[in-house]
Amino acid sequence: MLLQQSLGGMGVAFGLAVTWPELKREMDRYQPVAGMEESLIRFYEQLFQIWYEFRERIGGATALWKLEEINELLRQDHFLLHGRQVPVDGPLYRHVLGKIVEALSCLDPETSGLQKLLELPDLQELNLAEFLAKSTSFDGEKMVKYARDHKWDEAAGVEAELVAYVLFQALGPFYQSLGASVAALSDFSLWQHGFCPLCGQKPGMAMLRSDDGARILECWLCHVQWQFPRLQCPFCANKDFTKLQFFYTEEHPGRRVQLCDCCKSYLKTAVTREIGREVILELENIFTVQLDYLARREGYLPGEGLTLLS
């Protein structure tokens, strides 16, 4: 049973399904919303399949910490990867990147220049190792800047945002492997910040848990989940409730977009009691892209700083 294994139980703080067929089954429950191209859904399907294929190859990344060490770091307010690097095998990273780039060029032939990234000396051997080490401290914005500074956007003939998108997505399986293995040890209940207790990235989605209404955030990169106060912005820590609001639409029952007027960011939230079942937030994220348009139109930006494909 998918939901018990991956979403429900105590101490399970990892948001993706355990296996690809389980994720696919969940994915098939979603009706493509108006305006969402079938080809885009096929791309996501390929992307997720690549993630799972490589997560298997990376293997249950041996957790880097014992439970006592995890608790000690969290108590000291350090996210676990603070000052250290997620183990990423260079050649395997290039392999993942190549596959994602290929899937993306099937979706949109105009992105086929991304193949050139793999020929750049910048993304080979020692240079690649240097990039991977630096990427540990990158958020969306820094990744875009790094790509632009190295002229990877010019080399690929696409926008730096898209280069950043594929570079990050190719890191996905490595972070997810680690996320799954650490979440099997800890539910991160000692963590009280709005950024990820494992990798320090920002939440990409949130949910209100049905049994107790607790607000659960999910890291967009490693997909671990942790609890966070409902009336606080995870991006700027603002607690002034007059500056926090949300909106929803008829088309997406059970989904809210939380807005912070201090930092002008938004966070999409699934209210599982209203939806009537447990959900996989990564899937919620891609099938509610209309809510992103609406939030952006009102002048808010996604807190994690990465744009969804559309």
- CA torsion sign for 150, 154, 155, 157 is positive
Nearest CA to 171 among 96, 102, 116?
Answer: 96
CB within 8 Å of 303: residues ≥ 6 apart: 202, 203, 234, 235, 263, 265, 266, 267
Site string for Zn ion, 238-277 (x = CB under 5 A): x---------------------x-xx--------------
Distance separating alpha carbons of residues 190 and 168, to the nearest angstrom: 28
Per CB under 5 A, the list member of 61, 103, 233, 279 interacting with Zn ion is 233
Q: What is the smallest separation between the CB atom of 284 and Zn ion, expressed in angstroms?
A: 17
Q: Which is nearer to Zn ion, 219 or 270 (CB)?
A: 219
The pairing of strands 255-260 and 265-271 is antiparallel
36 binds Zn ion (CB under 5 A): no
Closest CB to Zn ion among 36 and 263?
A: 263
Candidate list 48, 235, 287, 300; residue touching Zn ion; CB under 5 A: 235
Long-range Cβ contacts of 253-262 (<8 Å, 24+ apart): 255/284, 255/288, 255/291, 257/291, 257/294, 257/295, 258/206, 259/295, 259/298, 259/300, 260/233, 260/235, 260/236, 260/300, 262/233, 262/236, 262/238
The end-to-end CA distance of the chain, in Å, is 32
Pick between residue 101 and residue 233 the one whose CB is nearest to Zn ion.
233
- Quick one: 162 or 222, whose CB is closer to Zn ion? 222
Q: Is 236 in the site for Zn ion (CB under 5 A)?
A: yes
Number of residues near Zn ion (by CB under 5 A): 14
User: Looking only at residues 175 through 204 of this chain, which bind Zn ion when binding is defined by CB under 5 A?
Assistant: 196, 198-199, 201
| Per CB under 5 A, 3 contacts Zn ion | no
Q: What is the smallest separation between the CB atom of 112 and Zn ion, expressed in angstroms?
A: 31
CB-nearer residue toward Zn ion: 16 or 219: 219
Task: Confirm or reject binding of residue 222 to Zn ion (CB under 5 A).
Answer: yes
- Residues contributing to the site for Zn ion (CB under 5 A): 196, 198-199, 201, 219, 221-222, 233, 235-236, 238, 260, 262-263
